[in-house]
Amino acid sequence: MPKLLFLYLHIVSFAAYAGSAVAAGNILKNSKRPGLDPAGRLSWLTAGASTITKVELPFAFALILTGVGLLLMTPGFMKAAWMHMKLTLVLIAVILTHLKMFNAKRMVKAAMAGQSDELMARGKRQFVFGMLSLALGLVIVGLAVFKPFSFGN
């Protein structure tokens, strides 16, 4: 029963993490709409940075905690090659989430200072971080679902 609860919480945490990542990307994208006044742009940027900081990052840690709980209940997974690949990619995903958070906060600061060139450069960087996070998420889910390289495990 506890294993099913941890699995449920792990899946819900992933859904919230992925959903907030997509939402933050869309919110930040709205800050680039043409004809938007500086106050409106700052409002969109602040909302996007807050989504990453207050939703995406906490659910990333919930994913890690529930994943550790699942590993403690199923120690045999630590012998599987796919799990080692998944854990490595999770570490990279958490680093990317932090990079997105720092970059989004700097986007807000650039907007407050009126540095449009800096804002555009950071926006492009944010897009790259977002696409890398999406790709990693898809590979991580693929590893968890299909369990390749199991070799009988």
Spatial distance between the Cα atoms of 107 and 94, rounded to a whole number of angstroms = 20
Contacts of 126 (CB under 8 A, 6+ apart): 25, 28, 100, 103, 104, 107
Could you tell me if 66 and 134 are in contact, meaning their C-beta atoms sit under 8 angstroms apart?
A: no
pTM, two decimals, is 0.89
pLDDT range class, residue 151, cuts 50, 70, 90: low
Spatial distance between the Cα atoms of 17 and 59, rounded to a whole number of angstroms = 5
Spatial distance between the Cα atoms of 56 and 119, rounded to a whole number of angstroms = 22
Closest CA to 127 of 95, 143, 104, 98: 104
Average pLDDT, the chain: 93
24-68: pLDDT as tens digits: 999 999 999 999 999 999 999 999 999 999 999 999 999 999 999
- CATH hierarchy code of domain 2-146: 1.20.120
Write down the pLDDT at residue 53.
96
